[in-house]
Amino acid sequence: MAKNRRRGGGGTEAVVAAVDGGLAELIPDRERPRGWTLLIDGAPQSHVDLDDPAHLSFEYQRRLGHAVDLAAPAGRPLHVVHLGGGAFTLARYVAATRPRSTQQVVELDAALVQLVRERLPLDPGARIRVRSLDARAGLAKVPDGWADLVIADVFSGARTPAHLTSTEFLAEVRRAMKPGGCYAANIADGPPLTHLRAQIATVAAVFPELALAADPTVLRGRRFGNAVLLASDTALPVAEFTRRVAGDPFAGRVEHGRALADFTGGAGPVSDASAKPSPVPPPAVFR
């Protein structure tokens, strides 16, 4: 894995390395002495503060953090599966906020895993196991009913692979979850929101309880962006999730129940046979 370095903010050197998924860059945060942003082929993937792993900088990661916070009473250890590793931001967050949690991270890009381990090492005391596997193959290795929380944040070339968007995939997620567990997915889409609507319908075909959080402009189909979808076989803490999302630095909106069903606009669930990757983000998204 070839690496080179260039000067970043505050004199700290950025790291550039070829990984399996493209060109990875670790860019130092000018405001946080040990903060770093991971980019793959210019697309921001993760932000990590090694001094404060409970800090979540990206909007969608904060919303996934709310899912972690609401998955059980504060401080209670969880069994968590992370599909997609990036810089292990959410795994670090769980370890910091819920000590003694046991976590499995599934990240296909072995070279990226090596880079992150070298440059942004995990706490050796954290119970985090990293598997360099395809997300669906790694999920298949999770025992039945093991996970309190499954977080899906998988992108290849800034797109979620097709085989991670189907009812068959969601059935595997539910198999791995404990009764009352939660599934949280980061979904990227833009106008006319065809992919997002289909993903809501797909998840609804497997889980009876759903809630969606996103920037209002994304929900109105005015720009490309991220939405976080929560799902469970039991009632979700919608009121508290709504309060937290509304209180974020970039306030979001939560849809659930009939309003969320109406939002899907009659979209149908996606199967393995009909699945497609998420759409390509417009170039302006990362400028």
pLDDT in tens, 19-38: 999 999 999 999 999 999 99
Identify the band that residue 157 occupies on the pLDDT scale cut at 50, 70 and 90: confident
When pLDDT is cut at 50, 70 and 90, the band that residue 158 belongs to is: confident
Distance, in Å, from the CA atom of 3 to the CA atom of 286, rounded to the nearest integer, reads: 23
| CA-wise closest residue to 148 among 177, 174, 172, 175 | 177
What is the pTM for the complete model shown?
0.95
Q: Which residue in 150, 272, 254, 155 sits closest to 207, CA to CA? A: 150
| Residues whose CB falls within 8 Å of the CB of residue 283, separated by 6 or more in sequence, listed in order | none
* Confidence band of 12 (pLDDT split at 50, 70, 90): confident
**Mean pLDDT of the 259-264 span:** 97
If pLDDT is split at 50, 70 and 90, which confidence band does 3 have? low
Say yes or no to pLDDT of 144 above 60: yes
- Whether 207 shows a pLDDT value over 80: the answer reads yes
Can you tell me which residue has the tokens 């969601």? 170
Mean pLDDT across the chain: 94
Strand partners, 15: 5, 26
Token representation of residue 121? 């090492």
- Complete edge-to-edge strand list for the sheet that includes strand 13-19: 3-7, 13-19, 22-28, 35-40, 43-49
Beta strand 35-40 with 147-152: parallel, antiparallel or unpaired?
A: unpaired
- Asked if residue 11 has pLDDT above 80, the reply is no
Angstrom CA distances, 198 to 142, 185, 201, 204, stand at 26, 14, 5, 10
Cβ pair 277, 161 in contact under 8 A:
yes
Please state, in angstroms and rounded to a whole number, the distance separating the CA atoms of residues 47 and 55: 9
Share of the chain above pLDDT 90, in %: 92
Looking only at the bridges linking them, the beta strands covering 43-49 and 79-83 are unpaired
* Amino acid letter, 261: A
Mean pLDDT to the nearest integer, 217-239:
97
| Tens digit of each residue's pLDDT (9 = 90 or more) over 68-123 | 999 999 999 999 999 999 999 999 999 999 999 999 999 999 999 999 999 999 99
pLDDT digits (tens, 9 = 90+) for 33-83: 999 999 999 999 999 999 999 999 999 999 999 999 999 999 999 999 999
